[in-house]
Copies of this chain bind each other. A is one copy, B any other.
Amino acid sequence: MLKAYCKEKAALIDQTLAELMPAGAAIAPVVIEAMRYSLFAGGKRLRPVLLMAAADAVGGRGDRYLNVACGIEMIHTYSLIHDDLPAMDNDDYRRGKPTNHKVYGEGLAILAGDALLTAAFEIMLRQENAPPETVIRVVHEIGFAAGPHGMVGGQAIDLASEGKTINIDTIALMHQAKTGALFKAAIRAGAMLANATAGQVAALTKYAEHFGLAFQITDDILDVVGSQDKIGKPVGSDVRNQKATYVSIYSLETARQMAEQAVGQAMEALREFGEEARVLREMVTYLITRDS
């Protein structure tokens, strides 16, 4: 069930992104090409699918909010391009393919990231099917989540922590900002666009927080026990880069227990929801069993 839902929604996102990013007719076609390269590099479209599933969960229709959903995926993609740069994580591969700067050079990779981030806002602000006040509120919140108090701030903590011993509180804050904030904004956006009640938004916010934590812990676990073929990048990179993770600070076993606990709390947050929240339930459960 979950697989079919995700496949269908991801296809919808891919199609909409392709329409929003025309191949030609640009003043600088190579920037569009570099944007497309990373945008269609095999991402799972997790954030837009979560947005759509959240809209579904409150009785709305996720496929009516594709502009905001695509914008969030573009913000996620820009952050990967910039994170991979030599001045940041200096990664050569991402999802089994050479990273953007390896193909287009550093200058264009920086510009492709800048262009994706800017175009994301432009595209989100063309969202229809919701009152303008709601569009402003939602896009504003996404902007806050992606900025210096969210994603960029988290990346800065990551950058400053390289080769240092950092404690679990700093790690938790870093992940919350770097990854969790955008998950939360995506889920809240879906709910708010679909006109959720304040109670529904509050419950889905809790779900999102536990989802983000479970995602991060299982990500750390995968870096230790995963397969390079499935993840698309060398495993064990956290250990080599001396990165503190949930596995390195606790143990593989404790990290697994923590992930299961987070999944349980996410499920608990959905207590008041009926069958409409099925996909959200399956998505967080899937995190524990995922292999990529």
Given known A122-B144, A147-B122, contact A152–B115 (CB-CB < 8 A)? yes
* A102 to B: closest C-beta gap in Å: 13
Residue contact A106 to B82, C-beta cutoff 8 Å = no
Hey, which chain B residues are within 8 Å of A119, CB to CB?
143, 147-148
Q: Is residue A157 contacting chain B, with contact meaning CB distance below 8 A?
A: yes
Alpha-carbon gap, A106 to B101, bound state (A) = 15
Q: Is residue A198 contacting chain B, with contact meaning CB distance below 8 A?
A: no
Residue contact A31 to B87, C-beta cutoff 8 Å = no
Hey, which chain B residues are within 8 Å of A122, CB to CB?
140, 143-144, 147
Alpha-carbon gap, A159 to B135, bound state (A) = 35
**Identical subunits present:** 2
Given known A122-B147, A136-B136, contact A160–B115 (CB-CB < 8 A)? no
Query: Which A residues contact B (CB, under 8 angstroms)?
Result: 26-28, 30-32, 35, 78, 82, 85, 87-88, 105-108, 110-111, 113-115, 117-119, 121-122, 125-126, 131-133, 135-136, 139-140, 143-144, 146-149, 151-157, 159-160, 173, 177
Residue contact B126 to A31, C-beta cutoff 8 Å = no
Choose from B146, B157, B160 the contact partner of A118 (Cβ within 8 Å).
B146
Nearest B residue (CB) for A35: B148
Residue contact B139 to A125, C-beta cutoff 8 Å = yes
Alpha-carbon gap, A82 to B109, bound state (A) = 11
Alpha-carbon gap, A153 to B25, bound state (A) = 12
Hey, which chain B residues are within 8 Å of A177, CB to CB?
27-28
Hey, which chain B residues are within 8 Å of A87, CB to CB?
105-107, 110
